[in-house]
Amino acid sequence: MNVNHSNNKITETACKVTDEICLPDSNLPRVVIIGGGFAGLAMVEKLKHKEVQVVLFDKNNFHQFQPLFYQVATSALEPDSIVFPFRKQINGYKNVLFRLAEVEEIQPSSNSLITSKGNVNYDYLILATGTNTNFFGMDSVESHSLGMKDIRDSLNIRHMMLQNLEQAAITCDNKERDALTNFVIVGGGPAGVEMAGALAEFCKFILPKDYPEYPSSIMNIYLIEAVDELLSTMSEKASSKTLKYLKDLNVKVLLNEAVSNYDGNEVTTKSGKTILAKNLIWTAGVKGQFPNGIDEEHIVRGNRIKTDANLKVEGYENIFAIGDIAALISKDTPKGHPQVAQTAIQQGKYLGDSILNIINNNPIKPFEYKDKGSLATVGKRKAVADLGKFKFSGYFAWLLWSIVHLMSISGFRNKLMVGFNWVVSYFSYEKSNRLIIRNFKPKSSVNNTKK
């Protein structure tokens, strides 16, 4: 491989196919970041144009804006509005490289990684791999329901919903129709609340127009939460307002209830309640996901990786964790920091500065999280906000939520697309993306086919 360093340009001219992933030769320290979520990209932004070689690995070639997954699921947005290619993101960053591969194992003794495409060495390793859905060991629930941790999940939910509504218009079996038009959302956090509100508005404004064959009252939406309040990480005011907004939208909220089983047709709770439904969306929990190779003694509750105050993984000198998988356990944060976007972004920026200080033998300060507040929307024009001492709800909270999320989306084109869709929806309640472009098959039927 020939490498031309003139004018700070790196040219790859003859990469051979070997067991090693092809990277330009460099005398700079190599910082490998696994995961291009909020944390990983925030760190990339901090390290761009610096005296380090940054290599970003991800199993997708795009960044996903997770807070708006529910809008893709309910046909309000198209997926390309909230995903952004990594290569477009890093275009012009001379010291940043992207490689499409899934990292399978970390080998700390040799400072190397084994990926699905080959091996690579590192000087500093950053784990920013995020989380996936946690079904808490309930295999039946996992087999028959859908999580919402990936853009593909959102599309699956959309296609499941539309296919079932179409089937409900066909069937003459009343019990079957009820199951096809009942929706159960498990988990009363922001994702569950926002999904419930969006589905309720779909039922109120779209269903009567698209499906005059049956009344909109046939579509029932249930939100199940295991504790006694919604949005338990926010204020009591936000929780009570959210409950009122959802009830106003005819969402059936079941508090102090936990799902014990789901067979694809009937939901069973621990108290013995049963709900007939062919649509179950699971937002009740997450667990960390990361490659093999980290000693189990450094893994804590939620499958998170325990770090010190500088986000360095305990037991390793040059491995760090940021974002949802990092658990900085301290007196002030006995359960680690909240697994939200603002934590991930702050940790990514902090660690970018810290790595440069470590390389230059400068002192580093411990990570300090600054809570900028929490927002959650419950349908159009209604939201709740906790901003320090200020706690408010209603139209202004919704407007603030809209501005914050719109400004956080990557890419001017994506901001424009989302903004345009929101303006149209604001005046018309229209959701123009109600297309079944591929046939959705439940995981259970796919698994049975493979047997």
Q: Are 98 and 86 in contact (CB under 8 A)?
A: yes
Pairing of β 266-269 and β 103-107 = unpaired
Residue 154 identity: S
The conformation of residue 189, written as its DSSP 8-state character, comes to: S
Round to whole Å and give the CA distance between 76 and 205.
13
Cα–Cα nearest to 429, from 202, 257, 226, 263: 202
Q: Provide long-range contacts, Cβ within 8 A and 24+ apart, for 337-345.
A: 337/369, 338/233, 339/131, 339/286, 340/374, 341/38, 341/66, 341/67, 341/408, 342/371, 342/372, 343/369, 344/37, 344/38, 344/39, 344/42, 344/128, 345/38, 345/39, 345/42
Round to whole Å and give the CA distance between 349 and 344.
9
Element containing residue 294 per DSSP (H, E): none
194 is catalytic: yes
Catalytic residue of the set 142, 194, 201, 225:
194
Structure tokens of 450?
């493979």
126: which strand partners? 33, 320
134: which strand partners? none
75 φψ region: left (φ > 0), alpha (ψ -120 to 50), beta (else): left
Going by C-beta distance under 8 Å and a sequence separation of 6 or more, which residues neighbour residue 338?
233
Round to whole Å and give the CA distance between 374 and 193.
14
The conformation of residue 29, written as its DSSP 8-state character, comes to: P
Cα–Cα nearest to 113, from 195, 37, 243, 19: 19
Active site residues per annotation: 194
